[in-house]
Amino acid sequence: MSKKKASGWLRAVEVVLVSLATALSISVLVAPQPAILTLIFTLSIALLVGGIVEALAGLFAKYLSGGLRVLSLGVGMLVLLVAGMVLGYPPVSIRVLINLLSFGQLINGIAVAAIGSLAPLTKRIRVLLVMGGLLTIIVSIFVFVYPTLGSLALVYLLAISFLLNNVARFALRMKSTQRVETQ
C-alpha cells in the first residue's frame, strides 16, 4: 500500500469551496439578523415562483394528463400558501428554518465524527474531525432542547458549528491522502 495525494484540481476546488463556506459562516457571525431575513425572503420568493409555475402547469399544461394537472394545481396552491405564510410570519419561519438547519447539522456532525473515527488519516486530523463532529451534535441537540433561547443565539451556535466543521474540512483537504493498492 502506498499513500497518494488527491488530484490537484480536486484539492483546489475543495479548498475554495470550504473557504467560501467558512467566509459565509463568519459573515453570519458578524451580521446574523440580515442573514436570517435574507434567507427567509429568498426562500419565500423561490417558493412563490415555484408555486406559480406548478399552478400554471396545472391550469394550462395540455401535455399533462387530467390527474397530473389536478396534482400540479394542488401542489402549486399548497406551495403558494406556504410561501405566503413564510412571508407573512417571519418569526415562525425563522424557528422552522433554524430547526431544519439544526437537523442538517446533526446529520453532518454524525458524518464528520464517523469520518474522523474511521478514515485513514493522521491522529491530529482524526481528533479534529471527531471533536468537530461531536461539538456539532451537541449544538444541534441543544437547539432542539432549548428552542426558546431565541433565534439569534441559535444562529450564533449554528454558525460557529459550521465554522468549526469548515476548519476541520479545510485541514482534511490540505492533508488529504487516500490509501490505494499498487501493484
Q: For 117-128, what is each residue's pLDDT tens digit? A: 887 778 888 888
Q: For 13-45, what is each residue's pLDDT tens digit? A: 777 877 887 787 787 778 777 777 777 777 778
pLDDT at 44: 79
pTM of the predicted structure, to 2 decimals: 0.51
Confidence tier at 183 by pLDDT (50, 70, 90): very low
pLDDT at 175: 66
Number of domains in the chain: 1
In 10 A of CB 169, how many CB atoms? 22
Q: State the residue range of the domain holding 25.
A: 2-180
Give the residue with greater pLDDT, 1 vs 19.
Answer: 19
Confidence tier at 180 by pLDDT (50, 70, 90): very low
Q: Is the pLDDT of residue 149 over 70?
A: no
Residue type, 23: A
Q: For 52-105, what is each residue's pLDDT tens digit? A: 888 888 888 787 788 888 988 888 898 888 888 878 887 777 778 777 777 887
Query: In Å, how far are 18, 24, 62, 70, 98 from 104, measured between CA atoms?
Result: 17, 17, 39, 33, 10
Rounded Cα gap, residues 106 and 97, in angstroms: 14
